[in-house]
């Protein structure tokens, strides 16, 4: 099995297809897709990055970061997703490692993220990667199931 993670533009057809799958997954878990406002340009270097993981040439997952609130020190993780046929291979961890390395390369020293109780496997992964619970922030900060995490990188 050949695994490759490549930078991609947020607006690319491949990225948009994976994001659509992510939104369907979120609808199944929460009853609605992620309503967090995003602009594709937010994920362009040096203020962000979007990555697609390919297994044997097939795109099966993605993940991204963007500057949080215009900060040059804090990155926010967005759009981490692995399709069902790519799960249980450690791909989400590899995506997170890529996001962290890229954010660090662009001067960020902290990463924050927002998830929810409908994604217990994501919460377990973030905790295993050293992320710690922080005060809720972002679009869903007042929702009861929101879980926010942060990590110095």
Tell me the helix, strand and coil percentages in the chain, rounded to 5: 30, 30, 35
Angle 90-91-95 from CA coordinates, rounded to 5°: 125
Confidence of residue 70 (pLDDT cuts 50, 70, 90): confident
Closest CA to 98 of 68, 75, 73, 70: 75
The whole model's pTM is what?
A: 0.95
Quote the number of domains for the chain.
Answer: 1
CATH number for the domain harbouring residue 36:
3.40.630.30
Give residue 30's pLDDT: 95
67: containing domain: 3-152
């Amino acid at each position: 099995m050949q695994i490759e993670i490549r930078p991609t533009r947020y607006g690319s057809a491949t990225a948009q297809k994976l994001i659509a799958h992510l939104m369907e997954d979120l609808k199944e878990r929460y009853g609605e897709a992620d309503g967090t406002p995003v602009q594709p340009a937010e994920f362009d270097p040096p203020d962000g990055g979007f990555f697609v993981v390919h297994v044997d040439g097939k795109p099966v997952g993605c993940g991204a970061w963007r500057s949080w609130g215009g900060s040059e020190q804090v990155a926010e993780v967005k759009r981490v997703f692995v399709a069902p046929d790519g799960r249980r291979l450690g791909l989400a961890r590899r995506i997170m490692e890529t996001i962290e390395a890229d954010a660090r390369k662009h001067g960020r020293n902290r990463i924050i993220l927002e998830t929810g109780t409908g994604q217990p496997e994501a919460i377990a992964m973030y905790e295993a990667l050293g992320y710690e619970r922080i005060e809720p922030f972002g679009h869903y900060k007042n929702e009861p199931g929101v879980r926010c995490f942060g990590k110095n990188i």
